[in-house]
Amino acid sequence: MIDLLLNALSDIASVKTILLLVLGVMFGLVFGVIPGLGGTTALAILMPLTFGMTAIDAFAMSGGIMGAVAMGGAISAILLNTPGTAPNAATTLDGYPLAKQGRAAEAIGAAATASPLGGLFGVITLLMVLPVAKQLVLLFGPPEFFLLAVFGLVTIALSDSTNLLRGLVSAGVGLMLAFVGYDTVTGGERFTYGSDYLFDGIPLVPALVGLFGVTEMIHLSITGGTVAGDASAVRIHGVMKGIKATLKNWRIVIRGSLTGTIIGSIPGVGGTVATFIAYSTTKRADADPESFGTGRIEGVIAPESANNAKDSGALLPTIAFGIPGSAEMAVFLGILVLHGMQPGPTMLLNNEREIYVLIIALTLSAVFSAIIGIALVKWLAMITLVRGQILAPLVIAVSLVGTYAINSRPGDVVIAAILGMVGYLMLRFNYPRLPLVIALVLGETAERGFLQSMMISQGSWGIFISSVTSIIMVLLILITLGWSFIPGILKSRRAAKAKSD
Amino acid sequence: MAKTAKNTTSFAPVIFIFCFTLGYIATGFIYLDEESRRVPILTGYVTIFLLALETLKWFIPSMSQEPKDTSGVDAVEVPVSREVIGLGYVVFLASMIYVFGFYVAIPIYLFVAIAFLGSQTKKTAGISAVVASIIIYVVFELILETRLYQGLLFS
């Protein structure tokens, strides 16, 4: 492992790669600061631009973005009471009251220290877990892969408790789209309606750019507005006080980081849950829980350490099993595919070098984003004054050009535009987009696993409970389904009973 | 302030997805052999079943769930006409790119979108369109050496 880390360090230690990483950090900070954009949009827009780069450079830039978005989001959460990204919402609870007391710099200093420390904790945990994951994936055959894909889909589709059925419907549509094109098992052509363009299926990169990048920009251009009008009043004095407070509260940093890493690794749960759990556990453990929400520095440290740690946690299912646990990871998975890698066991076995480069990039980006974030905090806060209706057309245009640049196919522009509009309608009618994307990614794995299992077992479904691993997977799927639906059913029964009484 | 469009509940998505799924299943039966259509058709049936459950929610109030809370941003009622215009701009851009290529489509789209959808002055829109087009040319044609699409009309 040490050899791999040193090799990765030497790979990344070139002026060009470090510059790309810093560029990624800047990009991530800007997209993190502007509410509604976030890491997913940043990665989706940047993804086509990485096409001409080596995998190492692309990972450095992507790592830069992923590590910096949390810091950018914390700045607008503290200064403007508007979380830049959803997981930063917990930071507003105490960050904004601190800013109102004139202690904004202290809060930003604390966030800038807790965030890289959390990232570092997550990376160390990932390094320790990777060798175990490598052994684990060797136990997987076609039935286990099929069940794993189903588990990933079910978990993500049911992750939004207010939209259980719509999440599953969205996953169903995603699966249907995933089956378009060349059938890898039988060799036939499916649902292409004679179009050569669709022979390779719905291309992943234009789909991701459309569903995340273009969709968010359409939304921004329609709703419009700016974030806040008082960003110029930012005074940054006393950052050191926040840094010292974070180091003094190292137990909160470790607890928050551990929460972020564990929750981040569960597909579909997401960073927002991680940061709120980190916040509430810190509040509960405190001697004076009532004072939280009035401007406690611990209320900034806990969620921010969890926020950066979650990325390393989320990388684990993405790299080891090819199951992206979040929208950001789904887009990152697109970058892996774009650079010729197949997330899942083969990547864990054949692309260790690139994985370690990514780990180093995430670590460096967490540190760089803290330094750059503090240095540029005033300017970053000013970005929130840009009107969405000017920003959105610019970003849509760049996204479509970038999508075309990958394969020089005009059809990719059309797919990105169509899925961008579909994504907006899904947003509007409250249908989650993530299950559709995950299904698009996992559809082929699921189908191949299913058909190969059926061939091996000569049509017997018993193959899906023929090994300990597959039994565990089946139980996990059933538990996830039960966990999601049963409380709702019981609640409606109780409500019906109360009504009849 | 940052805003988000208020979520809407409507039958339209269910009807649309239902028609799409029916068409998908019909295509599978007409054009594909039994082995190729096995998993896609099964997925189609499951989706229809889920849509049926989703429809039931309209008739059984206790099955309905609270809409998602978009914490941190204000939910605003957006006029449908504005949404249609917003989506129309994307259709306009994609069609322009397809027919006239990037170098004609992008400056025109940026100018029109910033000036009219963004309610900015024509001067601001013009400068933004020209600067953005030059940056796109430099980044893609000169730095990344990607020949951008010239459109059906000019290629």
The alpha carbon of residue B155 is apart from the nearest alpha carbon of chain A, in Å, by 12
Give the pLDDT of residue B4. 56
The answer to whether A401 contacts B46, with C-beta atoms less than 8 Å apart, is: no
Mark the ranges of chain A whose per-residue pLDDT is less than 50. Answer: 227-229, 231-232
* CA A290 centroid distance within chain: 32
**Exposure on the CB side of residue A87, measured as CA atoms within 13 A:** 33
Give the pLDDT of residue A89. 79
Partner B contacted by A417 (CB < 8 A): yes
The answer to whether B40 contacts A191, with C-beta atoms less than 8 Å apart, is: yes
By CA distance, what is A194's nearest residue in B? Answer: B31
By CA distance, what is A387's nearest residue in B? Answer: B118
The enclosing H or E element of B76 equals: strand B74-76
Partner B contacted by A218 (CB < 8 A): yes
By CA distance, what is B19's nearest residue in A? Answer: A173
Q: How far apart are CA A476 and CA A311, in angstroms?
A: 23
Do residues A29 and A369 touch, judged by C-beta distance below 8 A? yes
The answer to whether A417 contacts B9, with C-beta atoms less than 8 Å apart, is: no
Q: What is the ipTM of this complex?
A: 0.88
Which of B17, B97, B120 is opposite residue A173, by nearest beta carbon? B17
Q: Which two tokens stand for residue A129?
A: 């877990």
Interface of B with A in 115-134 (CB under 8 A): 117-120, 124, 128, 132
From chain B, the residues in CB contact with A394 under 8 A are 110, 128, 132
By CA distance, what is A53's nearest residue in B? Answer: B144
The answer to whether B120 contacts A175, with C-beta atoms less than 8 Å apart, is: no
The alpha carbon of residue B65 is apart from the nearest alpha carbon of chain A, in Å, by 5
Q: How far apart are CA B48 and CA A165, in angstroms?
A: 12
* CA A476 centroid distance within chain: 22
Partner B contacted by A135 (CB < 8 A): no
Largest distance between two CA atoms of chain A? 74
Phi, psi dihedral angles at B75 (to 5 degrees): -85, 125
Interface of B with A in 83-112 (CB under 8 A): 83, 86-87, 89-91, 93-94, 97-98, 102, 106, 109-110
By CA distance, what is A428's nearest residue in B? Answer: B7
By CA distance, what is B112's nearest residue in A? Answer: A393
Partner A contacted by B54 (CB < 8 A): yes
Q: Which two tokens stand for residue A486?
A: 């049963």
The answer to whether B110 contacts A186, with C-beta atoms less than 8 Å apart, is: no
In order, the DSSP letters of A148-197 are HHHHHHHHHHTSSTT-HHHHHHHHHHHHHHHTSEE-TTT--EES-TT-SG
Q: Which two tokens stand for residue A123?
A: 């990376």
Amino acid letter, residue B73: V
**pLDDT beyond 70 at B135:** yes
Task: Spell out the residues 6+ positions from residue A499 whose beta carbon is closer than 8 angstroms to its own.
Answer: none
Which of A91, A153, A389 is best to mutate for the B interface (most B CBs within 10 A)?
A389
Strands B74-76 and B3-5, sheet pairing: parallel
> What CA dihedral angle connects A321, A271, A65 and A438, to 10 degrees?
40
The answer to whether A163 contacts B51, with C-beta atoms less than 8 Å apart, is: no
The answer to whether A165 contacts B98, with C-beta atoms less than 8 Å apart, is: no
The answer to whether A417 contacts B113, with C-beta atoms less than 8 Å apart, is: no
By CA distance, what is B37's nearest residue in A? Answer: A190
pLDDT digits (tens, 9 = 90+) for B57-111: 777 665 555 444 444 445 567 788 889 998 999 999 999 999 999 999 999 999 9
Do residues A443 and A178 touch, judged by C-beta distance below 8 A? yes
Give the pLDDT of residue A391. 81
Q: Which residue has the tokens 């669709």?
A: A198
Q: Which two tokens stand for residue A398?
A: 């760049």
pLDDT digits (tens, 9 = 90+) for B7-57: 555 788 999 999 999 999 999 998 888 888 888 999 999 999 999 988 887
The alpha carbon of residue B2 is apart from the nearest alpha carbon of chain A, in Å, by 5
The answer to whether B43 contacts A492, with C-beta atoms less than 8 Å apart, is: no
The alpha carbon of residue A288 is apart from the nearest alpha carbon of chain B, in Å, by 26
Q: How far apart are CA A419 and CA A444, in angstroms?
A: 20
From chain B, the residues in CB contact with A488 under 8 A are 65
